[in-house]
Each structure stands twice: as structure tokens, then as C-alpha cells.
Amino acid sequence: MNKLPILGAMLASITSLPSQAKVEELFKSTCASCHGETLMGAMAPSLVDNTWLTDGTDKALTNAIKNGIANVGMPAFGETLSDEQVRTLVVFIREAGAKVERQKAPKSSLGKVFTTKHQTVTTQKVLTSDGIIWAMDFLPDGSLLYTLRQGELWMMSKNGKKTQVIGIPEVWHNRQGGLLDVYPDPQYSQNGWIYLSFSQAAGKNDNGDEIAFTKIVRGKISDGKWVSEQTLFEAKPENRKNRGWHFGSRFAIQGDYLFFTNGDEGHQNDAQSITTQNGKIHRIFKDGRIPKDNPFYNEKGAQQTIWTYGNRNPQGLTINQTTGDLWSTEHGPRGGDELNLITKGVNYGWPKVTFGMNYNGTPITEHTELPGMQSPIHHWTPSIAVAGINFYTGNVFKNWQGDLFVGSLAKKQLHRLRIENNQVIEDEIILKGLGRIRDVVTAPNGTIYLTINDRNKNESKIISILPAS
């Protein structure tokens, strides 16, 4: 195939494109003439059939776009496109490929038996509720606590009776804000503490926009009432500026320490500053005191609760009970959802490093790694909108012992990850299409519970995954 005659005209047209061009326009004007507008192939082969001339990795695609492929007619674009534009094109090719894959895959339906790689299972409805269920967890007596983002905490007893817990704090319910995580203390039987995270109203900013911040409290439930509340964490008054995005926030407890996530609140550059609470994972004592061995405790002006920084919007946090390691998932922008192993004082790179691009298709950076910044253990590009995570610790599914279950909002999928030596060796989609999956827990009876919701109906369900008969 000789494409040379059209090349001159094409290259002339791309040099006039602004460096912040959206990836859709970039592809259309530079690549579509050969690969087709839908990427399904025209004069040049499809980029969405998962058949590659190269080895198909991000590196190989980047290299093909920058340096061309001699003798087959793929021109080099390294002179005319910036590295960050090339990165947006790779994300774009991944998105298109995933879309084709998704259309092929069958949807799950409640109650149907289905076979996965290691287990044959089915699903069952546990409860339905109005609103968005944001989080759930079990108490030692087998009753189930769950939050509704609009600001309600509910408890379902073992025999299925639902009651609302009265007297919890008033929350700021706007955009992504509201009542978020609920987490009973691992020593609940001895101390009765339950931890809540939510967005708290903080008045208005200079432009007259309502603002809020992530607040952490604990309290106890007595006779269906929320009592003995203690405030454990609040953003400093000068750092309260969230207009409704990226609050985080999930809990994990290890010994006396309470970890919680705080998203970048829509101010992405703050994630690289140790003076603010946003874009961080924090560590405090369960009673709110700040441990003196936190990494930035002695740094002048630092937010002393910080454990890690450079985190975008982590909405999954859990401890591997076997190793004691702390893991987190965080929402990337468009592309670049991450699974991270969380270690003290580490910079996870946002927004200096990411596998993603802006939602509108313009570049963020060409860097998918940089010295001094920790790369994710695993990333999803295109984004699945990665949410709650949980290591399976029950004894019903023997072949899933120790696997990490990962919920996805946008792609409505439940992923099962097998991790060995801190590397993901299996990433299997075991459920899809039932709804947006925000939280996952291992139930005391060894089954797996999921929250799913349908945004259009403002309705949620909790369902369980159980062995097929």
C-alpha cells in the first residue's frame, strides 16, 4: 500500500491544530483518513479489533505513532504532534477498543447462574432503597449498616427489618457530596464506635458559590439513635473550598490507626502540596489525635495528618489482613484509574503523572511515570470509574481466597483481581450491567455483598453473590 501522496496534505493540516486540541478532532484530522472515523479501519487496518502488528502495549502504540512503522505506510508523527498529544491518542485508541469489547460481552442478570474463571456463582437481591447507597458494612451481630448519600444512615437487622438511625450529623448533599462512608470499629464488640465521613457545608466562597469540606466523626448507636459523637477531622478553615467534587472518602482501620481518603476537591494542583488536606490519604488515631510519626508531622506548615499525597480521588481503601498492607483505588481523569499500594510519605504523582487525559480530550501530561513518584500497581485505561474494594476473606468461595474485588461505577462491572508479589496477575470481570457498583464487602456468612445503583431512577440495591446451589 502506498499512502505517500496523501501524506503531504495531511501533515499540512495537522500543523495548524492547536496543542490543546481535543483528541476527537486530532484523530479525525490526522488519523481517520487511514484508520477510519470509527477506528475500525479504512485504508489502514482497524485499531479496535485487538489484533496488533506491534505487541499492542501502550509503549508500542506510542512508538508507532511517534516513529511510524517503516514499510507498511504508518507515517511518523513525532515531529508534528507533542508527546502529550500522542498520549491522548493512545487513550483514545484504548477507549474505542474497550467499547467494541463491551458490546460483545453479555450482561449479567439477577438470579442467573454464571461461570467465572474459578467459581460458578449466582446473585440475589438483599434490599432495595430510594436514593444512592454510598457505603455499607456489617456489625458483629450480622446486621448491616448502610449510608444514603442524601444524608441517611440505615440499619438492616439479621431478620431483614430496616430502621433509620436518628440524629446523625446534617450533611451537605450536593453534586458528589453528602453522607459517604460508614465503618464500624474492628473492636466494635468492645467499644461500639462507628466512623462516618460526609461533606459539611462551609458557607460561600468569594464568588458566592456554596462550599463544603470532608468531615470525619465517630459515634455510637443506642436504641436506634446516634449518640456520643466526636469530631475526628475537619479541613482547616482556610482550606475549605470544595464546590462539590472529589471528596474521597473511604476508611480503613489498622490497630489504633484510622486511615481515610480525601480527594483533590477539584483543585488538582493541591494534590502536590503538603499544606492542604485535599488529594491525600490521611492517618490519625481512632480518637482523632495525630500520630507524631506521620511523615510530615514536623514539617512547617504541613497538614500533619497526611500519610500520602498526589492522590486524585481515592474511593476505595482496604487492608489486606494477611499482609497488613494498605491498598487504594482512585478515580483517574479520562483514563488512568489506579490501584495503589499505599506506603508512608509516598507521592502518587497526580497531576504530574497520569495515564489519563482531560474529560474533554485535551492532554494533561505525556508523563506516565516520573522519578520520585510512585506508579500504580495496576491501571484501567479507559477508566471504569473505580470505586470500593475489598479482599475476599470468607470461606464460601475457596478459589477466590485473598482476591481483591473492585467495583466500577461508569462501566457497571465487578472486577476480581489476583495479586501476587504486588503484581496483578488476573483482572477478571465477573459481573456487569446490573448497575453502578460503589461498595463491596465480604459478608460474615462468606458471601460477597455489593451496592448497586441506577442513577436515572435514584434507586439502589444491595445484592449478594453466592454459590450456585
Residues in touch with ligand HEC (CB under 6 A): 3, 7, 10, 30-31, 33-35, 44-45, 52-54, 61, 64-65, 69, 72-75, 77, 89
User: C-alpha grid cell for residue 418?
Assistant: 489476583
Q: Which is nearer to ligand HEC, 39 or 431 (CB)?
A: 39
- We find the least distance from the C-beta atom of residue 60 to ligand HEC, in angstroms, to be 6
Q: Are 279 and 268 in contact (CB under 8 A)?
A: yes
Q: Which is nearer to ligand HEC, 10 or 396 (CB)?
A: 10
User: C-alpha grid cell for residue 268?
Assistant: 488538582
**Which residue pairs, CB below 8 angstroms and at least 24 apart, start in 256-259?**
256/285, 256/286, 257/283, 257/284, 257/285, 257/286, 257/291, 258/195, 258/216, 258/232, 258/283, 258/284, 258/285, 258/286, 259/283, 259/307, 259/317, 259/326, 259/342
Strand-pairing partners, residue 401, are none
DSSP for residue 122: E
Q: Which is nearer to ligand HEC, 53 or 227 (CB)?
A: 53
- We find the least distance from the C-beta atom of residue 35 to ligand HEC, in angstroms, to be 6
Q: Are 283 and 307 in contact (CB under 8 A)?
A: yes
Q: Which is nearer to ligand HEC, 30 or 276 (CB)?
A: 30
Report the alpha-carbon distance of residue 256 to residue 393 in Å, rounded.
21
- We find the least distance from the C-beta atom of residue 300 to ligand HEC, in angstroms, to be 47
Report the alpha-carbon distance of residue 281 to residue 317 in Å, rounded.
9
- We find the least distance from the C-beta atom of residue 51 to ligand HEC, in angstroms, to be 7
Q: Which is nearer to ligand HEC, 97 or 316 (CB)?
A: 97
- We find the least distance from the C-beta atom of residue 68 to ligand HEC, in angstroms, to be 8
- We find the least distance from the C-beta atom of residue 93 to ligand HEC, in angstroms, to be 6
User: C-alpha grid cell for residue 190?
Assistant: 468492645
Q: Which is nearer to ligand HEC, 35 or 331 (CB)?
A: 35
Q: Please, how many CA atoms are within 13 Å of residue 405, restricted to the half-sphere of its CB? A: 25
Q: Of 35, 118, 173, 246, which residue is the catalytic one?
A: 246
Q: What is the DSSP string of 269-322?
A: GGGG-TTSSTTEEEEEETTSPPPTTSTTTTSTT--TTEEEE---EEEEEEE-TT
- We find the least distance from the C-beta atom of residue 363 to ligand HEC, in angstroms, to be 14
173 is catalytic: no
Q: Which is nearer to ligand HEC, 55 or 420 (CB)?
A: 55
Q: Please, how many CA atoms are within 13 Å of residue 150, restricted to the half-sphere of its CB? A: 9
Helical residues (DSSP H) of 48-149, grouped into ranges: 58-67, 83-104
Active-site annotation, residues = 246
